[in-house]
Structure 1
Amino acid sequence: MLIVGETALTIEDVVAVARQEKKVALPSSEEWRELIQRGADFLDQLLEEEGVIYGVTTGYGDSCLVEIPPHQVNELPLHLSRFHGCGLGQNLDLITARAVVVTRLCSLARGYSGVSYVLLERLVWMLNENVIPVIPSEGSVGASGDLTPLSYIAGALVGERDVYWQGKIIPIAEVYAAKGLQPHVMRPKEGLALMNGTAVMTAIACLNYKKAEQISLTSTLITAMNVLALEGNPSHFDEILFAQKPHPGQQNIAAQLRDWLNSEVQTEHQSSRLQDRYSLRCAPHIIGVFEDSKVWLRQFIENELNSSNDNPLIDPVNLRVLHGGHFYGGHIAQAMDSLKIMIANIADLMDRQLAQLVDYKMNNGLPRNLTGSSLERLPLNHGFKAVQIGVSAWTAEALKQTISASIFSRSTECHNQDKVSMGTIAARDASRVILLTEQVIAALSCACVQAVWLKGLDTELTPVLTAFQQWVLQSFKYVEEDRPLQQELQTLVDRFENLELFSSAILS
């Protein structure tokens, strides 16, 4: 059980809830409950005494000077959710939508948004009952937060949108009826608190980060297999060599390659091949960029995750209304723009390694295109030829996606939102780059296993590489005669998407 509101959440917490590996609960302490209540009570007090609160008794954004008549104040949150119901594009899948809900809950449960305990309870109910709003992916400029996509959470709470439930998409009104529940009645500011934040981009960033970690691990395993299959020079990963360039992540990748190649004896003497091509020799330098960036990427993502990022904030301790711009997703935008470059570079690294494997002119004795056919049928078979073309296409598309989204700020909403983050577009772009790279590493996983088999090196693999080989062979059979590989590749992609490599015993 994950308690939301008590301590800071991690990327792994969000991923676990998104994947239905953990249920959630609110803190049981009276102190936390009183903090939430004080914020709601303070809002009520302000309404009675002053009568003017941005987004509660006024219009939104550029309309902040438009006063809402007292008898219409309670309708305002409903209108906010309705007029933002204009999202388009593919819907976020169930896992991503769950990540969004728990991310928004994490922010609101900090107590600085002025929402009621009842609202937080309903969000917990959504997660634990797996009644999850269907959220279109497009329509956010990343400031003021993710207004349009988050309106689908607000709309579902009040009974007006569709949800994922029991494997179907249905109106939430039907779920409420089946459960005997009434729609949530939003208090003043609850619509704004739900919608004016960075939960969509941050949730996607959490999922992207974990998939990127898996890509880093897999590409290192593949590199080790390819060094063996191509009879590469393991002294390129020498410990003393890497001590002279002290990037810790880069050094860790080199250390893994040394361990997995078990190359202590080999590195004592120069290989007959003094220098391998860069796609083998420089693999730690390319994968290591992500490994060395993990600290700041995690810091950016988790700080955003554990922040109060709507506007205005309601200070329940000092009883103040704080107007600011915490809805601005600049840190997530920067993290995701950077991440997609790092991951696309790994895709390119893998593409270059496959180009070596299939080309008889530089694969050190492997058959053309890694075909496993008999000598008699060799002219007929083409093995991984088309797979290499596909990998080239997926890599090119990944590289094309790496232009920064955050530099495309544009003035919106009557020039009130005159500088925006584009953080959600950056996060979505990074997701696309990650999926394309997973397709690349699925192909490379098959190719490196095939290459080791063709060289007859199965018995020379270290335990970690043997475990990886067996993991791949759960979804892939060695190619002897040409056959369609689409289904095997897609199965591996799906396993990468489900983070299955992390749940395997490969590194245990």
Structure 2
Amino acid sequence: MIQLNGSNLTLIEMKQLIYDGEQITIDPVSMNKVKRSREAVEGIVASGKTVYGINTGFGKFSDVRIQDKDVDTLQLHLIRSHACGIGEYFPESVSKAMVVLRLNALLKGYSGVRPCIVERLCHLANENIIPVIPSQGSLGASGDLAPLSHLALVLVGEGKVHYKGSIVPTKSVYDDLSFPALSLKAKEGLALINGTQAMTAMGVINYIEAERLINQCDWIGAMTFEALEGIVDAFHPAIHEARGYPEQMEVAERIRTLTNDSKLVTHQGEKRVQDAYSLRCIPQVHGASRQSLAYIKEKLEIEMNAATDNPLILEDGQTVVSGGNFHGQPIAIAMDFLKIAVAEMANISERRVERLVNPQLNDLPAFLSPDPGLQSGAMIMQYAAASLVSENKTLAHPASVDSIPSSANQEDHVSMGTIGARHAYQIIMNAQKVVGIEMICGMQALEIRGISLASISAQKLYEEGRLVVPSIKEDRVFSEDIESLTKWLKTDQFDWTINRQLIPG
């Protein structure tokens, strides 16, 4: 069980909640903060004081005073009108992360919702009743209004949910489970949708996937390095200490460790004096992408525990202030940074694929073909990798540099952070396939060289990989191999293999 209190949720805990089925409990102290915050809102309603989002309209309508009898109806109108999400649905993992993050934000006690709202979000997460949320339609300021409105609809018994492997109307699930739909009270609709939880949830999933991928790139890059009889001198520790980046030194050490018993690696002058950059500069390039992860992790974990509502109920209700914590710029920039970091991992991976298949760049059979000419072998796998890398270059254009005014120019600068997060996810999915292609080609090249000459680590990785993709003895539909290996790379099986089996010694 993971206890949420609004303040110290980590990415490791998010992984446990989203992927491992860990259950949520609520910190009683935080629930008391929620109650006091709600009492403050009810006091405002009773006093007749005008406060944004409680008894006023929204955005450009902030100057419109809402009659006391309509303050509850206002909240339902808000989420219905703002549920303008379009396009493909977010992955279920992202939508579940949104529920968890919205719950955690409300537990800070700054939003003025009733405890029943918090309890319902907790129940949705624990029972895997996950809102169906379209992925497009957010500007990333004033919060992720459209996506979070689709989440909020589920609390009132509307919209659709993922449940037991199907997409079904929320009402039918509530009826089956005898759950009452909630009726929103003053400020609750706004509190549910005014935040950055869509971009942050997508960012959490992106980080988990990217961290796994970047770790795998070292192992698969080392396999390619052996298959191309790389010059191991380039990983001499003094070279990397001379520059001083810890991540670069870490990658160099890992490559040295993985290849230390290989009979395929060479030394400078034995076969050539220098390797191409895609081999020689693995520590510099992989290390730089690793550096970005530390920055992105820091920003995500701050935002995961942030109050991004507006207005905020502060000082036990004594102060109610409108601000701009809903603006997604910190996560927008982090997601653009992640796009570049992962795109470069795919970029250098594809260059290594080219060196594996191009007979002008190695002494292996052309395109690793079992019968060059009659059979094309891995020729078009490199085409596919190049296509994905080129697509990533387009997707890597920063979303955060764009802004379009909205709400009659009241909201005149927005972050586009959710677009950046979505594009980062697409880049990661593409990169996984490129790295999968590299592993397929690397295994085939090692086999041609003589797998017994490879390091113990490469031999074990080869053995595991061959359980997923067989040796290329004859041309076949390689699309299926790419999909199979990519799927394997996304499972814990690869992580278990490299962490438990492949570490030399």
The percentage of counterpart residues that share the same residue type is 33
How far 1:506 sits from its partner (Å)?
3.7
Verify the 8 A CA contact 2:90 2:135 in the aligned structure 1: yes
Alpha carbons of 1:476 and 1:369: their partners in 2 closer, same or farther (altered >3 Å)?
Answer: same
Give a deviation string over 1:363-422, Cα, whole Å, max 9, x none: 1x2111012x2xxx4431111001111111111101111110011111111111100000
Structure 1: gaps (5+ residues): none
How far 1:488 sits from its partner (Å)?
1.9
Give a deviation string over 1:181-240, Cα, whole Å, max 9, x none: 110121211111110100010011111111111221121112211111111101111101
* Cα distance between partner residues in 2 of 1:499 and 1:88: 32
Alpha carbons of 1:7 and 1:53: their partners in 2 closer, same or farther (altered >3 Å)?
Answer: closer
* Cα distance between partner residues in 1 of 2:396 and 2:86: 23
Show the counterpart of 2:252.
254
Give a deviation string over 1:235-285, Cα, whole Å, max 9, x none: 111101111000111111111101101169978875432100011011111
Show the counterpart of 1:492.
485
Shifted more, 316-325 versus 479-488: the winner is: 316-325
Alpha carbons of 1:467 and 1:6: their partners in 2 closer, same or farther (altered >3 Å)?
Answer: farther
How far 1:128 sits from its partner (Å)?
1.1
Show the counterpart of 1:286.
285
Show the counterpart of 2:434.
440
Alpha carbons of 1:401 and 1:100: their partners in 2 closer, same or farther (altered >3 Å)?
Answer: same
Verify the 8 A CA contact 2:6 2:104 in the aligned structure 1: no
CA RMSD of aligned residues (A): 1.8
Counterpart among 462, 465, 481 of residue 472 in structure 1:
465
1:420 has 2:419 as partner = no
Show the counterpart of 2:393.
399
How far 1:318 sits from its partner (Å)?
5.9
Verify the 8 A CA contact 1:214 1:499 in the aligned structure 2: no
* Cα distance between partner residues in 2 of 1:472 and 1:267: 25
Write out the 4+ residue segments of structure 1 that deviate beyond 6 Å after TM superposition: 263-269
Show the counterpart of 1:346.
345
How far 1:467 sits from its partner (Å)?
3.4
* Cα distance between partner residues in 1 of 2:163 and 2:186: 29
Counterpart among 87, 111, 114 of residue 112 in structure 2:
114
Verify the 8 A CA contact 1:211 1:499 in the aligned structure 2: no
Verify the 8 A CA contact 2:261 2:455 in the aligned structure 1: no
* Cα distance between partner residues in 2 of 1:203 and 1:26: 20
Counterpart among 37, 42, 45 of residue 44 in structure 1:
42
Counterpart among 133, 141, 152 of residue 135 in structure 1:
133
Give a deviation string over 1:420-450, Cα, whole Å, max 9, x none: 0000000001001111101101111111111
Shifted more, 226-235 versus 49-58: the winner is: 49-58
Verify the 8 A CA contact 1:235 1:271 in the aligned structure 2: no
Verify the 8 A CA contact 2:289 2:344 in the aligned structure 1: no
TM-score, length-scaled by structure 2: 0.95
Verify the 8 A CA contact 1:467 1:505 in the aligned structure 2: no
Any residues of structure 2 matched to 1:93-492 within 5 Å, and which? 93-262=91-260, 271-317=270-316, 319-363=318-362, 365-371=363-369, 373=370, 377-463=371-457, 465-492=458-485
Verify the 8 A CA contact 2:34 2:106 in the aligned structure 1: no
1:472 alignment partner, SS class:
helix
How far 1:32 sits from its partner (Å)?
2.7
Alpha carbons of 1:271 and 1:312: their partners in 2 closer, same or farther (altered >3 Å)?
Answer: farther
Counterpart among 80, 83, 86 of residue 84 in structure 2:
86
TM-score, length-scaled by structure 1: 0.95
* Cα distance between partner residues in 1 of 2:90 and 2:493: 21
Verify the 8 A CA contact 1:38 1:316 in the aligned structure 2: no
Give a deviation string over 1:464-503, Cα, whole Å, max 9, x none: x333223322210010111112122112222334454334
How far 1:338 sits from its partner (Å)?
0.9
Give a deviation string over 1:112-170, Cα, whole Å, max 9, x none: 11112111110011011111110000000000110000001111100111111111111
Verify the 8 A CA contact 1:476 1:488 in the aligned structure 2: yes
AA in 2 matched with 1:445? M
Verify the 8 A CA contact 1:5 1:26 in the aligned structure 2: yes
* Cα distance between partner residues in 1 of 2:189 and 2:404: 25
Structure 2: gaps (5+ residues): none
AA in 2 matched with 1:210? I
Show the counterpart of 1:24.
24
Show the counterpart of 2:55.
57
Verify the 8 A CA contact 2:346 2:434 in the aligned structure 1: yes
Give a deviation string over 1:11-44, Cα, whole Å, max 9, x none: 22222222243111111x3x33321110000111
How far 1:505 sits from its partner (Å)?
4.8
1:407 alignment partner, SS class:
coil
* Cα distance between partner residues in 2 of 1:368 and 1:10: 48
1:3 alignment partner, SS class:
strand
Alpha carbons of 1:125 and 1:113: their partners in 2 closer, same or farther (altered >3 Å)?
Answer: same
Verify the 8 A CA contact 1:115 1:189 in the aligned structure 2: yes
Aligned residues: 500
